[in-house]
Structure 1
């Protein structure tokens, strides 16, 4: 515990300490033309200090908020580091956030500068009439000579200030304390206005130090980073990198993840469950599509691999025959799958939503361990995480060093420790609802501790109680279905106060169109396929498979297939891709009612 208490003073100190320790080591890689360009920690410091001094030249003072409205790219990280080194605080804004919510977030946070990815993001600000915003900085694009500056213009202003006052940035870092505000992250929430979570420098330095103590990551690791940096998960990974010093390849293009993994050949990658679900579905369907001997070998290999995975989980040694079979399965199938993701992955890390056990076991069978973790924006991301040498599928691991956990009488998980937020911005009543005077955070999640490892069962507010009095955890059902059905994108389980459980299902556009082309339905749109009897029969088969894994009162008796996938733009998904359950139910309540009256 002592080393947790001797961590760096602030995010700015943490960055400066990293540069001093390994100035010539690789810090980041980013796409440049058809290849990747690297830069050292020393080069990163020069860029960060120029931007930090540019912000100071604009008049940004201690703890004033500077917003970043951009997708995941190197400049996001440089901007965030610069804001910290200028003594200011970052307000994160998802690029998918609507103009209305951008206006609310910027006004509520009191942001004085906005760093926008492009003119489209800047337009959300200029159209809002926000008097506190003194300047807009465009990462891509040119300034207007007045309120809008280009990225290079901001850096040039900073370079000039540093020439005149060489110690200006270091002085700002020196003045920082652990309790200075570092970040305002607005929870996308599933209902109501987003709430600004106040995270101080001490929260982030704790995350970096605590994960380092677990020994999960090493200085020679290479990370592939695509996660939204406006999300607490992505921000946490920046802190961990500064503490440990590994290199990070950055590219936020979700369509290029597999391609980039093959080029970068990272040793680890963090992601949300949907990414792993899609990889499993694509690999499985490709193999099945090949048919014949290839499909039979694939199925045999995974049967062997899954059996081995379950024996490892049970701490049961493999027989000699099973070991030989596993070695053959690895040579014929699993090495090829690992090669697709670069061939050097030590493990994946999954967070932000529940990971299906079936998906975790499938990857484990192929020799690709997924370390599932758990945390919230209110806990600076990681609070629990599995360990590479003792990953227990179905749990989110033990708590980080320095974090305490108790399970309340109603099953709710309560946590306390250095990662806990300092409250919701401008919302004292909302803060008191979740944070006790002695520091315990009510997570709103239901779970249990098994030999010190936490198992999440559901969101407290999402538990369904049928009219028969049975409690049903929708996340359990949804997780199983998405693991067994490669053609579904989302499933929303419904049934609170109803006679039985039903579900709304959306189709995965890529996979269902491929299936349609091979089954006499080529040329049909996703909306048209949603009404096709053949598609309903296909999905119905997977519902039957799902029900075979459930208790009788949990089974899905009826379902509807929606004519399009859920989107952030229509308010059905949060920017971090969580389903806004109540929104979707309200939109389709008429169809749901028909299931119970028809």
Structure 2
């Protein structure tokens, strides 16, 4: 199928529904595009160069801060020369090439060059520990590894004795791409053509290791067909995102890790749809905001944490200027506007009043031209989704896993329903099992978990469904709502089942809260551990002239505790009395990947939190605590 065939827009198709006892238990949406029957992702740069050689696929940021364009023709030529370099170094079809780097142009270049050489790419988070890196390289049987900098090279080199199959290690910062291109000069062009010709849609494309909240990461074996099923249907469904309907050509700045399937899928989708892409290796506030302002994307992919930061920073700025009340009124108007399918004349007038005062500044923080955001990784929450919609940024919320090549459901265009993660992506079926677990089926669902000795282990049900481990429900129109993780469900000593995710998501959106862990398994009532957001607390202290207080003093400050109690009270409105948080403790520590409390994709490791803060947990259930 040509690229152009995948670009024509389509109205969202109503899902077909299966009811059991009057409740929707299964929904399906037919694919919008036919399945790809020949070729692979390796063909995309060559197809683009042939069909539209002058199309701008990338913009690269130089050392001077200026952005320069890379055309489809130039990208294909660079992919080809690097692929020849990989072949020159003796890498064979099916060999695994590990990539360990931040989000850069070279990451995407090497991804496609490896495929053109017939290889399988294995992403490694650049923040991975020595143990995690060694495990992934060992388990995948990587024959070569590309890292970003000398520090990462030293980390891998220290493990080489336990990696006998690792024949090559290249470093981007010391000229890896140029070295590969030079080595490939002696390889005939036809060598790459032959390698590409060996690939089919069913060929393994990548092994993406799940970060895992417990145990060792597992390699998800994703094929070229998995990616085609995902990106072709996503591009077709989200036509206004990938094919701009305004005067500004579609463009996005990638800043989420390409080691994660979410960012990787969008990067491939942009190459497929010929959308201009920039890479931002830093997610630090000031640096990222500067890149957004210079690049000026029309859409972004983000995790809820990023959108929470944008909202909370905007409110903090308003408060410092003595305009917190005006901001809060604007936020209420935006949320009402975002809720309404047909806003009243008075509501439209109120929104128009606040647009230059508040909403335009929100959009400016995202670069000024962003009209769409694709949000994933965890639930966004109705409040933020409604606010951004009212502020002029449509949020497409999705749900998926590494095992499903990213999204399995997505908000349908012009049919949003806040609080849900949308309908099945076209070509996908969703079933709710008897115990509430979400099951999935479709062409984007992976081949299985990698096992070098026995082949991919397939974790499907007997009738071909993939159990996700997540809990959810379907409403009468087929929208999916995720309520938590099956293994995270808490059962109090009174036998009450409690899903912690809704409470945690609500509290995490508060400007003072960085992370929240809701507890209560086999306990008489529900409690929570809370960590403080550095930027939010810094602003709070400044506004209340409490800069002199140390962090440990803040955790006992009555005014701050009262503010957090109000946030807890608001969250408790979501649930019954038996499920509500009765007590909480504020920690001086931070939950991070380095501390061992978060995975690289920012998911909580509950076991590690419970282990390291056992004393604080016991204090909440000690004598004299109100039940």
Q: How does 1:223-372 map to 2 (within 5 A)?
A: 223-255=252-284, 256-291=287-322, 294-312=323-341, 317-372=342-397
1:236-263 deviations in whole A, cap 9, x for unaligned? 1122112211111111210123222222
> What is the aligned length?
581
Whether 1:470 and 2:501 are equivalent positions in the alignment is no
Question: 1:7 Cα shift?
Answer: 6.1
Aligned to 2:46: 16
Aligned 8 A contact 1:506 1:564 in 2: yes
Give the match for residue 458 of structure 1.
484
Helix, strand or coil at the partner of 1:140: helix
Correspondence for 1:138 among 167, 171, 183: 171
State the match for 1:213 in structure 2. 236
Choose from 212, 217, 227 the match for 1:204. Answer: 227
Work out whether 1:447 is the aligned partner of 2:478: no
**Residue of structure 2 in register with 1:178 after alignment:** 201
Equivalent residues of 1:434, 1:443 under 8 A apart = no
Give the 3 Å change call, closer, same or farther, for CA 433–59 of structure 1 in structure 2. Answer: closer
Structure 1 pair 49–523 and aligned structure 2 pair: CA distance change class (3 A)? farther
Structure 1 residues 397 and 46, CA, compared in 2 at 3 Å: closer, same or farther?
same
TM-align CA RMSD:
2.0
Q: Distance in 1 between matches of 2:457 and 2:48?
A: 37
Paired with 1:299 and 1:16, the residues of 2 have a C-alpha distance of 51
Q: Is the Cα contact below 8 Å between 2:125 and 2:600 reproduced in 1?
A: yes
Gaps of 5+ in 1: 143-149
Question: Does residue 490 of structure 1 match 2:515?
Answer: yes
Counterpart CA distance in 1 for 2:86 and 2:548 is 53
CA deviation digits over 1:429-466, x for unaligned, max 9?
99768323443100111112221221111111111111
Q: What is the rounded CA distance, in whole Å, between the counterparts of 2:252 and 2:301 in structure 1?
A: 8
* C-alpha distance in structure 2 between counterparts of 1:239 and 1:152, whole Å: 23
Residue 356 of structure 1 and its aligned partner are, at CA, apart by: 1.8
Aligned residue for 1:597, secondary structure, equals coil
Q: Say which SS state the counterpart of residue 446 (structure 2) adopts.
A: coil
The question of whether the paired residues in 2 share the 8 Å contact of 1:204 and 1:419 is answered with: yes
Partner residue in 2 for 1:146 = none
* Aligned equivalent of 1:147: none
1:388 offset after TM fit, Å? Answer: 2.9
Residue 192 of structure 2, aligned match among 163, 166, 169: 169
CA deviations over 1:98-149 (Å, ceiling 9, x no partner): 001111110110001100101111112111121111111110026xxxxxxx
1:43 and 1:334 map into 2 onto residues whose CA distance is 39
**How do 1:31-70 residues align onto structure 2 when only pairs under 5 Å count?**
31-32=61-62, 33-70=64-101
| Structure 2 gap segments, 5+ residues each | 1-30, 244-248
SS at match of 1:254: coil
State the distance in 1 between where 2:77 and 2:210 align. Answer: 32
Partner deviation per Cα, 1:289-314 (whole Å, 9 max, x = no partner): 322xx3333222222222222222xx
User: Structure 1 length as normaliser, TM-score?
Assistant: 0.93
Q: Deviations over 1:148-202 (max 9, x none)?
A: xx332122111332xxx12221221111111211101111100000101111111
> Is this contact kept in 1: 2:79–2:112, CA < 8 A?
yes
Distance 1:95-1:439 versus aligned 2 partners, 3 A rule: same
Q: Name the CA distance, whole Å, in 2 between partners of 1:572 and 1:354.
A: 19
CA distance in 2, matches of 1:568, 1:159: 41
